[in-house]
Structure 1
């Protein structure tokens, strides 16, 4: 009997740095899914529709990273409510009719990463892009009621503020350089690693400690980031973006394969790859 290999993979640009193949492959190995393969492919926004259209029925799922999370609406047959609200798709799941169901597991990954963090109903998001909108939904899910979005240009945070208000939070936008004013206990940074240079430095300039603050930095490569180092020096706690990455990948794994994800094995593989 000929074995049919099932395929999944991550698309984006740049993509060489992605840990997704390591995480998913570790999951296949732990679950004994010998007929599953997970790869990566460099795909720009303008190429996505063509690439997806060339995939045969052995392709069961796709993980999407930048710059594809917003253009993926063009190739989706159905879109989940969470993806529509976030305005971002990071997961495509093959349908029986050959189409693609789209969703967003970034929100799942964010919730899993911060669910244990105590807060006083207030939180702050650094950045205003697609991941920031996912962060808004995650914060609403863990009970945050008052949110500020800190962005280099506060005008770019309008969509994130509107989303926060739509899900029942009070929200406002502030300049990024004001992010440590009126400190909150829970912060999610969606800034690229290089963009956080100087942002964390504002903590030391404040002349006080920030014990009790927890920052989830969604970056996982080149850890710790400048922001993570500065938060720790100021007495705060930091959650690595690897936590979010693994938990969102675990949600994708289950959608693609129909098998419960071995989160511990996937986390161990991610940590080993970053050592």
Structure 2
């Protein structure tokens, strides 16, 4: 019997998830597994999922379906429920279970930065987050779990009412600043800057946000202007390809029940850069 999984989102043509998962299947000799893609917006997600036959065991859900997928799931992991968005649907005997493996990807990227900057996201440290969208929610939740004492969000609009509970639930402090604020003192106090917005959205903050280690979730194009500026000042950088790979490793294990062949999957991803 063929087993299938797929990435779902809109647009979806740029996704490298098929590269990662299919490389994993090939490395383990899983000839009866295949990973594809569906272009689908949030409004059509429920109908798409309902149309899938039993050969589909899992879905990787990207924007704009990360919020809508929770309405489809019969079971929601605790972290996914806390964050309010997810990226993973796994078929179970009773329906679909939702999870958010972006948490695993974020943790892996921060661990890579810690090789060169041990204080990155350490307990009691401060962090700066650029952006306030769906990925930002996951970052905020993860930073709170890691014990950060304060997260400052740089975003054009004030979404404090929506975002602050993800941080303050652990007793950490939350602050919102617009891009035109005096950002340099905030960044200089931070152990890490995390960017979640496309390149065009960082133009006004590149200089101010280049004085700390950086995790930039963007991997196309790579390196980003912000990543170049941070490296030029001697700070370490982790890119979105690290997060992409590690969230996929976790999904692979949930879909197949097998440990992900990480080296093979990572090598296949790096062939695209």
Same fold (TM over 0.5): yes
Alignment match, 1:196:
202
The TM-score with structure 2 as length reference comes to 0.91
1:85 aligns with 2:82: yes
Distance change in 2, residues 1:41/1:235 (3 Å) = same
CA-based RMSD:
1.5
Mind listing any 5+ residue stretches in structure 1 that lack a counterpart? 205-209
Q: Are 1:142 and 2:142 counterparts?
A: no
Tell me the SS of whatever aligns to 2:82: helix
Distance change >3 Å, CA 180–CA 264, structure 1 → 2: farther
Cα shift at 1:142:
2.7
Q: TM-score, normalised by structure 1?
A: 0.91
Q: Which residue of the other structure, out of 104, 110, 115, is the alignment partner of 1:114? A: 110
Among 176, 179, 183, the residue aligned to 2:179: 176
Corresponding residue of 2:132: 128
Alpha-carbon distance in structure 2 between the residues aligned to 1:159 and 1:38: 35
The reply on whether 1:152 has 2:151 as its aligned counterpart is no
Tell me, yes or no, if the aligned pair for 1:12 and 1:43 is still in contact at 8 Å. Answer: yes
Change (3 A) 1:202 1:145: closer
Corresponding residue for residue 264 of structure 1: 263
Q: Aligned residues, how many?
A: 262
Partner of 2:25: 28
Structure 2: 5+ residue stretches without partners: none
Q: Is contact 1:115–1:142 with CA below 8 Å preserved after alignment? A: no
Give the whole-Å Cα distance in 2 for the aligned partners of 1:235 and 1:203: 13
* CA apart distance, 1:271: 1.0
Counterpart of 1:265 in 2: which secondary structure?
helix
Misfit runs of 4+, over 4 Å? none
Once residues 180 and 255 of structure 1 are traced to their aligned partners in structure 2, the CA distance between those partners, rounded to angstroms, is 41
Cα distance, 1:11 vs. partner? 0.3
Conservation of the 8 A alpha-carbon contact between 1:45 and 1:68: yes
Aligned residue number for residue 244 of structure 1: 243
Residue pair 2:103, 2:139 contacting (<8 A) in 1 also:
yes
In structure 1, distance between residues paired with 2:253 and 2:11: 25
